[in-house]
Amino acid sequence: MPMPNRLLAEFVGTFWLVLGGCGSAVLAAAFPDVGIGLIGVSLAFGLTVLTMAYAVGHISGAHFNPAVTIGLWAGGRFPTAEILPYVISQVLGGVAGAGVLYVIASGAAGFDLAGGFASNGYGMHSPGGYGLVSALVCEVVMTLMFLVIILGATDKRAPAGFAPIAIGLGLTLIHLISIPVTNTSVNPARSTGPALFVGDWALGQLWLFWVAPIVGAVLAGLLYRRLGRE
């Protein structure tokens, strides 16, 4: 598949992930009387990945996440030369998704970015008040397990056609565990989009949501090289 097609697929997939996942948190999580809550937001993130993996996975591999791209590289599944173009497309898609969400959300009376706009954070900006170390460990471990799921489900020895289901459900489970800790990142592009609109503390804490997912992804790639060895 030509590189421009693949990069556009990554842009669209990440756009949908941020718009669908963060949109569920901003627009629907606490909507009066019919709010979807933590379970609904977790499902929304999982469903964005599941749906787009089936829609464009055959074009780009359905990474939608710089940590996934780097984890696949560490696992020997992705070429070094293509990392940067993929990451740039993913970040741009995440920013575009956050931009569309901002346009929609700001149409409501009383909308205020001070509410967080689904940004990731720790300390006083963690939904549950969890500190830096808790957030760092959570993001590393959750991303590590996410990449193990991805690497295993997409292994040529795994049953064909089911990878998006396992990956989508895996991301749902990760959100069920870690929304209270960091609002769940495991994806630097997902974190960057909302943070650019919130600015201030969200940009100040953004470093963790790049460093921790990438560390977890690299560890997962190295681990799966050992696990998958015959």
Query: Over the stretch 9-44, which tens digit does the pLDDT of each residue have?
Result: 999 999 999 999 999 999 987 755 667 888 999 999
Q: What is the pLDDT of residue 31?
A: 59
Residues of the chain with pLDDT under 50: none
Residue recorded with tokens 């996410």: 146
Q: What is the pLDDT of residue 180?
A: 95
Q: What is the pLDDT of residue 32?
A: 59
Q: Could you give the CA distance from residue 26 to residue 227 in angstroms, rounded to a whole number?
A: 39
Q: What is the pLDDT of residue 11?
A: 98
- Percent of the chain exceeding pLDDT 90 equals 86
- CB atoms under 10 Å from CB of 116, counted, come to 18
pTM of the model: 0.94
Q: What is the pLDDT of residue 33?
A: 64
Q: What is the pLDDT of residue 158?
A: 87
Q: What is the pLDDT of residue 216?
A: 98
The three-class DSSP label of residue 131 is coil
pLDDT in tens, 143-162: 999 999 999 999 989 888 89
The three-class DSSP label of residue 66 is helix
The stretches of 61-131 forming alpha helices (DSSP H) are 66-74, 83-105
Contacts for 171-174 with beta carbons within 8 Å, 24 or more apart? Answer: 171/45, 171/46, 171/49, 171/146, 172/42, 172/43, 172/45, 172/46, 172/47, 173/42, 173/46, 174/142, 174/145, 174/146
The three-class DSSP label of residue 206 is coil
What domains are there in the chain, each with its CATH number? 3-227 (1.20.1080.10)
Tokens found for residue 209: 């949501």
Q: How far is CA 7 from the centre of its chain?
A: 17
